[in-house]
Structure 1
Amino acid sequence: MHTGSCLCGAVAFIVDGDLTPPSACHCGQCRKQSGHLWASTVTHQDNLSFTSSETLEWYRASDIAKRGFCRACGSFLFWQHNDEDTIAISVGSLDEPTGLKLAQHIFVADKGDYYDIKDDLPQRAH
């Protein structure tokens, strides 16, 4: 079981189930919304429950996905594909210890020109 929240604590949640090894996403949307790259882990949406969600908002980021954030503090917390029953959760929003280790970089073809990826983790173009 994992717990997590936004920066101000107005959105708080529990994950009661498995989490995937996290990915660092370098796509333009994640960079714009997070300010750099976004690391997330994935679980089945039924594993996620909220202990507080009054400030949770969803932004329709594209025709295929939405992004969840706290309207009070602005924390970017979730990403969910329209047609899937899984949800990506910001690794940074999880309370420690998480027991997770970054597994890969995704959307590296879209990464910013202001940094290099220096680790030896797998890199996927998309």
Structure 2
Amino acid sequence: MTMAAGFSGGCQCGAVRYRTAGALGYPHLCHCRMCQKASGNYALPLGSAKRVDFELTRGEPSWFHSSDLVRRGFCGTCGTPLFYDVPGTDSINVTLGSLDEPALVQPVAQSNRAGKMTWFQALDALPMEPDEDSSDRAISIKLSNHQHPDHDTSSWPQEKHHE
């Protein structure tokens, strides 16, 4: 959720939530092998938040030191990658996909291009599968969704109503 030139975000299960009060600096896609492994993906979109503008609003992340200089924060419950942190600096990087409104932050650069998949430029030429929003499977997933919504909640998980 956009808030006074800031952003909120969190993990898939809702156990860890955060907020930034300011804009995110240097939004970019990192193609290094460490970011690929940490995200389980071909690249990791990151943006920098000043520590004075950053706060955890729910829970605490788990941390893994991927090197002597860098630690990576993730949800210990669902595994969502959330942060790239160099302790002792004045900023922390958030994963752009963990933002409540990731489409609001467009990357301005790519880093560590030596690790970039050589076939990325061919993605737009791949056949597109039709959206299945009305399929029985898609409806069943939507009705049984346990994912935290893309906005702050006073508590999570929400209480289930029994009949």
The bucket for the TM-score relative to the shorter chain is 0.7 to 0.9
Preserved CA contact (<8 Å) 2:7 2:100: yes
Q: CA deviation at 1:14?
A: 0.9
User: Is residue 120 of structure 2 the alignment partner of residue 116 of structure 1?
Assistant: yes
Structure 2 counterpart of 1:85: 90
Q: Which ranges in structure 1 are unaligned for 5 or more consecutive residues?
A: 119-126
Structure 2 counterpart of 1:42: 48
Q: What percent identity do the matched residue pairs reach?
A: 34
Cα shift readout 1:66-125 (whole Å, capped 9, x = no counterpart): 100001000010001134211100111111265321111100112345x3357xxxxxxx
Cα 1:117–1:48 change in 2 (3 A) is farther
Q: CA deviation at 1:51?
A: 1.4
Structure 2 counterpart of 1:10: 15
Which structure shows the bigger proportion of residues in strand conformation?
Answer: 1
Runs of 4+ in structure 1 over 6 Å off:
none
- TM-score under structure 1 normalisation? 0.83
Aligned mates of 1:98, 1:2 — CA distance in 2 = 12
Q: Which amino acid aligns with 1:42?
A: S
Q: Which amino acid aligns with 1:26?
A: H
Structure 1 counterpart of 2:32: 27
- Structure 2 residue matching 1:22: 3-state secondary structure: strand
User: Is residue 110 of structure 2 the alignment partner of residue 105 of structure 1?
Assistant: yes
Aligned residues: 117
| Deviating more after overlay: 12-21 vs 24-33 | 12-21
- TM-score under structure 2 normalisation? 0.65
Structure 1 counterpart of 2:125: none
User: Is residue 68 of structure 2 the alignment partner of residue 63 of structure 1?
Assistant: yes
User: Is residue 81 of structure 2 the alignment partner of residue 76 of structure 1?
Assistant: yes
Q: Which ranges in structure 2 are unaligned for 5 or more consecutive residues?
A: 1-5, 123-163
Aligned mates of 1:83, 1:97 — CA distance in 2 = 27
Aligned mates of 2:112, 2:102 — CA distance in 1 = 27
Preserved CA contact (<8 Å) 1:12 1:51: yes
Bigger Rg, which one: 2
CA RMSD in angstroms comes to: 2.0
